[in-house]
Amino acid sequence: MSPDALERATQPFFTTKPVGKGTGLRLAMANGFVRQSRGRLEVDSEVGRGTIIRMLFPVARGDMALAQPQPAAHHPAIANVELDRPEHVLVVEDSAEVLELAQEILTGAGYRVTTAISGEEGLRTSDAVHADDTIDLLFTDLVMPGGMNGLDLADAISERDSGVSVLLTTGYNEELVVGGLRRRSSDVLSKPYRRSDLLDRVRQALNRLGSGGPRRRPSDFDSAEA
């Protein structure tokens, strides 16, 4: 890498690849994981010679007690809404890699997931789904190419179905300042995000009173059918 690229290598969304060929999230997410473990990421690179990436972690003392497992996050008990299948999440994201990651995490947690790669496709998909099904949560990128961004999409879908919860995601803080005022009830998840962060915020959005929730968790269906 050039000195300029090396300096920015771990910044979210920085990439030297052509548009549509990379997200700039991989090193940023790796750096975030290492820092959360109180370590550091070192990158050595020289044009024409290659790149070396080191992940350095602190060593635990031998006399330290084993960490106790943390209890699972508590979610409000749901008693008023009876559903015959898991909640349905519409994920709208113009980056194929990020879209695949979100779909994998949510599907693995037991949610039904439908995807779209633009605001316009998200609206068409929502209309098609509502013909014979429902969407419980819209999880959409805020900044997308084309004429419809995440806020516009959320407004359009909410006009059609006020019971749909909304969770926005973005890596551009300046966009939140301008657009966030339009939908104060919407939650925002910053990129890059961890699996636990995504699942927690999705659960919070679905449980938010007056925004499509509270509703049952996917795990509730498993226990009900056991």
The encoded tokens of residue 101 equal 């990651």
CA distance 127 to 104: 23
Do 34 and 95 lie in one domain? The reply is no
Residue 221 lies in a domain: yes
Q: Could you give the number of structural domains in the chain?
A: 2
* Whether 103 and 146 share a structural domain: yes
CATH of the domain at 191: 3.40.50.2300
For residue 83, tell me if it sits in a domain.
Answer: no
H and E: helices and strands count for the chain: 8, 7
Position 163 pLDDT exceeds 80:
yes
Query: Across the beta sheet with 165-170, what order do the strands follow?
Result: 112-116, 88-92, 137-141, 165-170, 187-190
| Residue 82 counted as domain residue | no
Q: How many CA atoms lie within 13 A of 157 on its CB side?
A: 37
- Does 23 fall in a domain? yes
Q: Residue 30: what pLDDT?
A: 73
- 3 state SS of 63: coil
Q: What is the pLDDT of residues 86-120, one digit of tens each?
A: 899 999 999 888 999 999 999 999 999 999 999 99
133 is a domain residue: yes
What is the Cα Rg of the chain in Å?
20
23 and 101 in a single domain? The answer is: no
Residue 10: helix, strand or coil by DSSP?
coil
- Domain span holding position 192: 88-225
pTM for the predicted model, two decimal places: 0.59
- Kindly state whether residue 158 falls inside one of the protein's structural domains: yes
In a domain, 178, yes or no: yes
Question: Are 158 and 98 contained in the same domain?
Answer: yes
Residue 206 and residue 157 share a domain? yes
| Distance of alpha carbon 113 from alpha carbon 95, whole angstroms | 16
Give 46's pLDDT tier (boundaries 50, 70, 90): confident
